[in-house]
Amino acid sequence: MAKNEATKVAPKKHFDFTSLNTLSVVSLATAVTGFGALAAIITGHISLTQLKSTGQSGRALAIAGLAVGYATIGFWIIAGIGMSFLRLKYGFDGPMGPRGGMMDGRWGND
């Protein structure tokens, strides 16, 4: 015996963008560019402070901006240390010497 009862489905709620904290969006947007990592960290922390006192949304965006910003700065620090070690080992000219290249800087012009 089949039931012909209709199940009630709740209407979809749309996200209210007016309650979104602007600085959390700015934090994520500047973090993604890579060059604005410091700005992402600053705006992310300010956004989290604002979100504690107001009822706005955007906490996940602020945390994502902070994570990407800190990861970017960490990458640049590790890359700088690595470049320093390479320069200590090979000097400023690189592993191929001051002329560089396989043709000793002559480029075939003798």
Q: How many domains does the chain have?
A: 1
| Residues 21, 93: Cα–Cα separation, whole Å | 49
Residue 14 inside a domain? The answer is: no
Please report which helix (H) or strand (E) contains residue 74, including its range. helix 59-90
Domain that holds residue 32: 21-90
Give the residue among 69, 74, 75, 73 at the shortest CA–CA distance from 24. Answer: 69
Residue 37 inside a domain? The answer is: yes
Residue 9 inside a domain? The answer is: no
Q: pLDDT digit string (tens) for 23-54?
A: 999 999 999 887 789 999 999 999 999 999 98
What percent of the chain stands above pLDDT 90? Answer: 45
Query: Is the dihedral angle over the CA atoms 86, 91, 94, 96 positive or is it negative?
Result: negative
Residue 98 inside a domain? The answer is: no
Residue 31 inside a domain? The answer is: yes
Cβ(41)–Cβ(80) below 8 Å: no
Residue 27 inside a domain? The answer is: yes
Record the pTM. Answer: 0.69
